[in-house]
Amino acid sequence: MGDVTCAVPDCSKRRRKTVKWCSMHEARLRRRGTLDDGPFSHAPLGERFWRFVDRADGCWWWQGSINNKGYGQIGRGPGGGLAYAHRVSYELHVGPIPAGMKLLHSCDNPACVNPDHLSIGTQGDNMRDAAAKGRTLANERNPSARFSNETIREVRRRVAAGEMQKAVAADVGMSVDYVWRIVAQTSRRGI
């Protein structure tokens, strides 16, 4: 049947079936690039980055740590904290990201680190992109919305026809202030 212990000298842990090392040494090799348990030292960020990238199709899928929003993350090195993997990819392939700027994914895949799918933009650009692609919960798609798009159109029609805002508000069950904001299009503009 063969030896089922780790191939590292003086390690008596059981190895995994598909590799020569136990899970601890396999993780150490992947993280550090070495099986040595000497002083902690990271391989350069660019080298570690490629250990976690799968370039199977158009998107380059991040195979390392993923946060709760689906974005890849990687350690910058001793004392450097975590960085988003797509930002590291952009910096490695394109150059620095200007302060205060965001990276927009054209593929809408947060785990993608392909620099061809990334572009620099503001938070406003990101929100407009999300709205254009139908990824925001605007208007009646928002579960907190109390009034349908049809009700909003009705309010605008009735006020435009000369009906008093106070009467329209009482009739549809909303505040006069909200009717004013609907008519002035400071609220529910896209309808």
Q: Are residues 168 and 109 in the same domain?
A: no
- Structural domain contains residue 190: no
Q: Which residue has the higher pLDDT, 2 or 74?
A: 74
Q: State whether 18 and 47 are in the same domain.
A: no
Q: Count up the domains in the chain and report the number.
A: 3
Do residues 64 and 95 both lie within one domain?
Answer: yes
In this prediction, residue 40 carries a pLDDT of: 47
Q: Is the pTM of this model over 0.85?
A: no
Q: Judge if 63 and 19 occupy the same domain.
A: no
Tell me the C-alpha distance between 182 and 176, whole Å: 10
Q: Where are the beta strands (DSSP E) in the chain?
A: 53-54, 61-62, 73-75, 82-84, 102-105, 118-121
The predicted-structure confidence for 15-27, as pLDDT tens digits, reads as follows 877 778 888 888 8
pLDDT of residue 48: 84
* pLDDT for the residue numbered 143: 73
Residues 21 and 54 in one domain: no
Instruction: Kindly state whether residue 188 falls inside one of the protein's structural domains.
Output: no
**pLDDT at 39 (0 to 100):** 47
Q: In this structure, is residue 175 part of a structural domain?
A: yes
Q: What is the mean pLDDT of residues 154-159?
A: 94
Q: Which residue has the higher pLDDT, 109 or 131?
A: 109
Report the DSSP pairing between strands 61-62 and 73-75.
unpaired
CATH code of residue 124: 3.90.75.20
Judge whether 189 lies within some domain: no
In a domain, 56, yes or no: yes
- What backbone phi and psi angles, to 5 degrees, belong to 98? -60, 145
Any domain includes 28: yes
Domain that holds residue 32: 1-41
Check whether residue 14 and residue 93 sit in a common domain. no
Q: Are residues 72 and 113 in the same domain?
A: yes
pLDDT of residue 1: 47
Give the pLDDT score at 38: 54
Clarify whether residues 127 and 160 are in a common domain. Answer: no
Residue 80: inside a domain, yes or no? yes
Contact 125, 84 (CB under 8 A): no
* pLDDT, greater one: 31 or 90: 90
Highest mean pLDDT among 32-36, 88-92, 147-151: 88-92
Spell out a b/e string for 116-143, using b for 16 or more CB atoms within 10 Å of the CB, else e: ebbeeeeeeeeeebeeeeeeeeeebeee
pLDDT reading at 37 higher than 70: no
